Amino acid sequence: MAIQPVEGEKLPVKPVGVFPPTPPETIFGDASTPSPPEYPLPPPSKAPTEVLAIDEKTPDAHVPRDPRLIRLTGAHPFNVEAPLSDLYNEGFLTSPELFYVRNHGAVPEVKDEEIPDWEFTVEGLVENPLKITFRELLEEYENVTYPITLVCAGNRRKEQNVVRKSNGFSWGPAGVSNALFTGVVLGDVLRRAKPLRKAKYVCMEGADKLPNGYYGTSVKLNWAMDPNKGMMLAHKMNGEMLTPDHGKPLRVVIPGQIGGRSVKWLKKLIITEAPSDNWYHIYDNRVLPTSVTPEEAANDPRWWKDERYAIYDLNTNSAIAYPAHEERLDLATAPETYSVKGYAYGGGGRRVTRMELSLDKGKTWRLANIDYAEDRYREAAVDQKLFGGRLDMDWRETCFCWCFWNIDIPVSELKEASDIVVRGMDEGLHIQPRDMYWSVLGMMNNPWFRVTISLEN
Ligand code: MTE
């Protein structure tokens, strides 16, 4: 993976948020502008154009997809992750076609010519209710672009399901991805609507009609108004229009929090005094106490209605991409050292400050190197006014993205080990625990990540 530091390169700035939608392009310019060397550009889009046979008989028959994605819930609804090595090899920015997808139901079909008139409302406890079309949003509001990592709260759930079946399907460790999102600062829109004094929450609702109503959830209003939180109404991913699976034409993106709060196909923002009463807010994205069994949870709605168990900020987490679990290493051809590597992320804007690896089941630990490519974007954004040049929010002070870590291990030492484990710690000293916290939805699973390898002579 060759991510190089930026050194004084002046990068061409392309205005973002133009309408009508343009054909795929990079946010840095078209072919006539000099291409900036040494900068972690979005990978060239290989956006699929064909609808796969498996999707033809589903309500998503209008959505072209990448066949490399691993389907976790059969043909439909579409819930997928990339093979971990493919995800890792993409580097800091994941291309939209390999970005994990979590769809509760069918993808709303929105034709390009319908996008300018796509409308959403800002209603509820506001002085000035708004109805905003996509065209107005682009014309009347300033755009920002930041790299943001999204993570499904179910990332790594498979490990919980192996221990004891939860009510959720088995995500591996690739329910996480990172992209440059372009959009309007959520607080800018809310400020125009003028929330009333007693308003406390922003409820969000998508256009996907599900068995229990439209998908919706909420976050605190003061978070949404806080520029440090970086919440946005996004319409582009890596400089290109959102793809149908990722919310075309408009979605909420919330850095540092579980992906479930980043509502896709946005239709409504409702300002309220209480958290969302949407079915998916109440019965999804919660970590109930570990003692609550699936039967108890199914029979007693009080467990679900307790907002204390709702999850927002991500917890510290990491995974080993190389070696893969159960990989065979051929000692005859192995180099003297093996580079063990993977990803890590913190939650709530906190950065991972330490990654540790153990070859003796946690008795002793050694420190790995950490690379935050996000810093290079931040430097470039500050120095060169990239991404629309707007920096009134303090992305400078916070952290929206995953990092990559690596450590070289002498193969002679690997030979002695039966497994490799890693753990991360963030700047708030939140450390990945040794033990799993099982819960009925199997969410936020973050114990030490472990792989076993076999060595062959
Ligand atoms: N928004 C709508 N409208 N419908 C959904 O099913 N899924 C949520 C969230 N927003 C969902 C949604 C969940 S659980 C996650 S993890 C993220 O979208 C996934 O975003 P992605 O599919 O773009 O990766």
pLDDT, residue 378, reads 74
Any ligand 1 atom below 6 A from CB of 215? yes
| Residue 253 in contact with ligand 1 by CB distance below 6 A | no
Question: Other CB atoms closer than 10 Å to residue 390's CB: what's the count?
Answer: 13
Question: Which mutation among 81, 178, 264 tests ligand 1's pocket best, with the greatest number of atoms within 8 A of CB?
Answer: 264
pLDDT of residue 5: 33
**By the 8 A CB rule, do 87 and 177 touch?**
yes
Q: What is the CA radius of gyration of the chain?
A: 22
Phi and psi at residue 449, to the nearest 5°: -90, 130
Q: Pairing mode, if any, of strands 201-210 and 176-185?
A: unpaired
For residue 372 the two structure tokens come to 């935050």
| pTM: predicted TM-score of the whole model, two decimal places | 0.90
Asked if 276 and 218 touch (Cβ cutoff 8 Å), the reply is: yes
304/302 Cα distance (integer angstroms): 5
**Burial (CB count <10 Å: 0-12, 13-18, 19+), residue 98:** buried
Can you give the pLDDT at residue 150?
98
Give whole-number Cα distances, 57 to 43, 48, 100, 105, 245, in Å. Answer: 31, 18, 22, 14, 17
Q: What are phi and psi of 259, to 5 degrees?
A: -55, -25
Kindly indicate whether the ipTM for this predicted assembly is greater than 0.90, answering yes or no: yes
Instruction: Write down the pLDDT at residue 328.
Output: 87
Q: Is 263 in the pocket of ligand 1 (CB under 6 A)?
A: yes
Catalytic residue among 55, 245, 284, 426: 284
End-to-end CA distance of the chain: 29
- Reply yes or no on whether 394 is catalytic: no
Which stretches in the chain have pLDDT values below 70? Answer: 1-45, 380-396
Q: Are 40 and 377 in contact (CB under 8 A)?
A: yes
Atom 19 of ligand 1, nearest CA residue? 102
b/e sequence 151-183, b meaning 16+ C-beta within 10 Å: bbbbbbbbbbbeeeebbbebbbbbbbbbbbbbb
pLDDT at 41: 54
Q: Is 408 annotated in the active site? A: no
**pLDDT in the model for residue 28:** 31
* Annotation says 284 is catalytic: yes
Nearest CA to ligand 1 atom 23: 246
How many Å lie between the centroid of ligand 1 and the Cα of residue 113?
24
The answer to whether 405 and 370 are in contact (CB under 8 A) is yes
374 class by beta-carbon count within 10 Å (0-12 exposed, 13-18 middle, 19+ buried): buried
Any atom of ligand 1 within 6 Å of the Cβ of 168:
no
pLDDT at position 425 is 98
Task: Give the per-residue pLDDT at 161.
Answer: 97
Spot the catalytic one: 103, 152, 161, 245.
Answer: 152
**Nearest CA to 233 among 192, 182, 199?**
182
Instruction: Specify the residue for token string 């005859």.
Output: 332
